[in-house]
A and B are shown apart, each in its own frame.
Chain A
């Protein structure tokens, strides 16, 4: 009995770590730039394909390819901010929504054209391995993904709280106008925010690759969870998104175990609705941190 519960919690936590990387990116972009990035899932997909091709062509371990996928997507993010998003930042939300949505469709169909709809998997020595502790098991690939995801989240927290650029970013998130008056260059801050958010999505992709298949639609699976996590953990709140993601992973896993294997998401959404009913601003409270 306890073994089953513990196993379900472990499974949930491990996948929650991946949800966290995606949702932190979404919430960071929303908090700083004040746009909803519908294309975040597609950047996870790009990260996966980068890792897949590096592994397939050059035999590079997907975890090492993190060092490629993150910088590539960082640059991608900066370019997208500079050449696309910057132009639609105005009082009207609609162009921003259409821009990121169009970007999502474009990337998705581009991937379909270039890579076909086939599922691609990478086999690593640790792909099918698991640590067995008592009656419990922990899949190695997922454990690594979880640890790296937590390290990256921690690093982001430190960056936001210690460095000047990070502080500027938080300032811009709290009040863009006042931040500009204090001499913060919004475009620079926005570029970095987009870059970091996309780099995290790329990291999620690389970390997923040892145990999940890459295909053009893969991002959609994760982006739904990310949006729920972002709302649950308060829009724009990085720590909130992280905690909400882990909670959702556990809720989904327990839901599958005790409610029904097709009801994992029901539990997640019930949790979201209850939270919004009692705490409309989300678990992270009203403040963006």
Chain B
């Protein structure tokens, strides 16, 4: 830690000492000494010099466009997290520097995400970024952040985010892990699970469902139907018609909210008796229950975060509920934890320099406090930016609330069978 802090200062001195005298030794004597004086003065009081400046944290979320509804919830949680940090005294190793959240609306659009990420990074001195909820958007933002050498921490689940990137950190379960959890949950419901997999043809849908397909044989689950669909359809009937003719006894739907509502309603209309696992995405947010109502009861899903996981999560949930009237959903809860991971890194880096924050994030190792709010309660990043302890939590809608039911260590309520 100490070494980190001294490094730039000595480099600074060396630069002034070595290059300048060679060129104009006498004529610029005064300027040279002035430069050295300035440099050493800077080196002598680095902490106080930076303490006055807040630490800029970028937040990229879609607050308009088709994903706006979740994006707005994310922003509320991001603000809450920043307040929690600042009320507790800010970053102590930076003399109590406050966090400053710089929000940017990525408009649920990949092109806009690219330009907005670029604008956010070039227009502000950022120490770290979190975002963007949807994997398709996060993939773009992480590319831009990678090039600009600013660390990005995200709850997005696409496994692609862990490939060829050194500035991207994913503290929560990956899409492939979601798949395994879903398959294991199917075995809890039926001894001979025959699963129909339907998924939206996006980065999120494809990576999640490919994970399901690859892992199914090893888990002893038969996949009888595997079908992508275009997100935002007008009618789920043809799709459910197809599920019906496949003879499946469990349905995995990898979808965002609106499609999933149509799917659940249509399954009911068809009179299909099938265990539905909605995965994550639109399934694990309060709006789902509001829209589907009692039809949602006993539907299963997987999440990378749930509000009943540990006392800290419950505390944050209570505060979020007070502000928004809804429980703290998966992605928003996860990003509160992410903010505290950035805080932990900032404390250890004692610098706002994004590259030092990245270095500190890569050596993060927490098992208590708000930063450790994750299934399993531990966060430590591997070389690919993946949390080595990351795992998903199986959830089920029970009387209007989302209860953790799987695996055993994380279960807070027993699984209801249909």
Considering only residues 109-150 of chain A, those with a C-beta below 8 Å from chain B are: 109, 112, 116-121, 123, 127-130, 132, 137, 139, 142
> B46 near A: Cβ within 8 Å?
no
How many residue pairs link A and B with beta carbons under 8 A? The number is 107
Q: Check if B269 sits within 8 Å of A253, measured CB to CB.
A: no
Q: Check if B230 sits within 8 Å of A262, measured CB to CB.
A: yes
* CB-based nearest A residue for B264: A128
Q: Which of A130, A221, A253, A260 contacts B232, CB < 8 Å?
A: A221
Interfacial chain B residues near A8, Cβ < 8 Å: 238, 241
Q: Which of B69, B230, B239 contacts A119, CB < 8 Å?
A: B69
Number of interface residues of B (CB under 8 A): 37
Report A226 CB to chain B, min CB distance, Å: 11
Interfacial chain A residues near B291, Cβ < 8 Å: 119-121, 213
Q: Check if A139 sits within 8 Å of B227, measured CB to CB.
A: no
The CA of A252 and the CA of B239, in the complex, are separated in Å by: 11
Q: Check if B234 sits within 8 Å of A15, measured CB to CB.
A: yes
* CB-based nearest B residue for A5: B241
The CA of A217 and the CA of B231, in the complex, are separated in Å by: 13
> B215 near A: Cβ within 8 Å?
no
Interfacial chain B residues near A288, Cβ < 8 Å: none
Q: Check if A265 sits within 8 Å of B230, measured CB to CB.
A: yes
Q: Check if B238 sits within 8 Å of A253, measured CB to CB.
A: yes
Report B269 CB to chain A, min CB distance, Å: 4
Q: Check if A221 sits within 8 Å of B69, measured CB to CB.
A: no
Interfacial chain B residues near A139, Cβ < 8 Å: 237, 266, 269
Q: Which of B72, B232, B242, B292 contacts A116, CB < 8 Å?
A: B72
Q: Check if A222 sits within 8 Å of B234, measured CB to CB.
A: yes
The CA of A129 and the CA of B232, in the complex, are separated in Å by: 23
Interface of B is mostly: helix
Interfacial chain A residues near B68, Cβ < 8 Å: 112, 116-117
Given contacts A4-B241, A4-B245, contact A118 B229 (CB under 8 A): no
Considering only residues 4-20 of chain A, those with a C-beta below 8 Å from chain B are: 4, 7-8, 11-12, 14-15, 18
Considering only residues 85-121 of chain A, those with a C-beta below 8 Å from chain B are: 109, 112, 116-121
Q: Which of B230, B232, B293 contacts A123, CB < 8 Å?
A: B293
> B175 near A: Cβ within 8 Å?
no
Interfacial chain A residues near B353, Cβ < 8 Å: none
Size range of the chain A interface in the assembly: 35 or more
* CB-based nearest A residue for B265: A128
> B268 near A: Cβ within 8 Å?
yes
The CA of A120 and the CA of B257, in the complex, are separated in Å by: 11
Q: Check if B69 sits within 8 Å of A137, measured CB to CB.
A: no
Considering only residues 245-274 of chain B, those with a C-beta below 8 Å from chain A are: 245, 257-258, 261-262, 265-266, 268-271
Given contacts A213-B291, A217-B66, contact A264 B238 (CB under 8 A): yes
The CA of A289 and the CA of B237, in the complex, are separated in Å by: 33
Not counting A128-B265, A213-B262, A215-B69, a sample of 17 additional A-B residue pairs whose C-beta atoms are within 8 angstroms of each other reads A8-B238, A112-B64, A116-B69, A117-B69, A117-B72, A119-B287, A120-B291, A128-B268, A132-B271, A213-B258, A213-B261, A213-B291, A221-B232, A221-B234, A257-B238, A261-B239, A262-B229
A residues neighboring B (CB under 8 Å): 4, 7-8, 11-12, 14-15, 18, 109, 112, 116-121, 123, 127-130, 132, 137, 139, 142, 211-213, 215, 217, 221-222, 225, 252-254, 256-257, 260-262, 264-265
In the complex, the 9 A-B pairs of residues with the closest C-beta atoms, listed nearest first: A117-B68, A261-B229, A256-B238, A11-B237, A130-B269, A117-B69, A15-B235, A253-B238, A262-B228
Q: Supply 5 A–B pairs (Cβ within 8 Å), ascending by A.
A: A11-B238, A128-B269, A129-B269, A221-B234, A252-B238
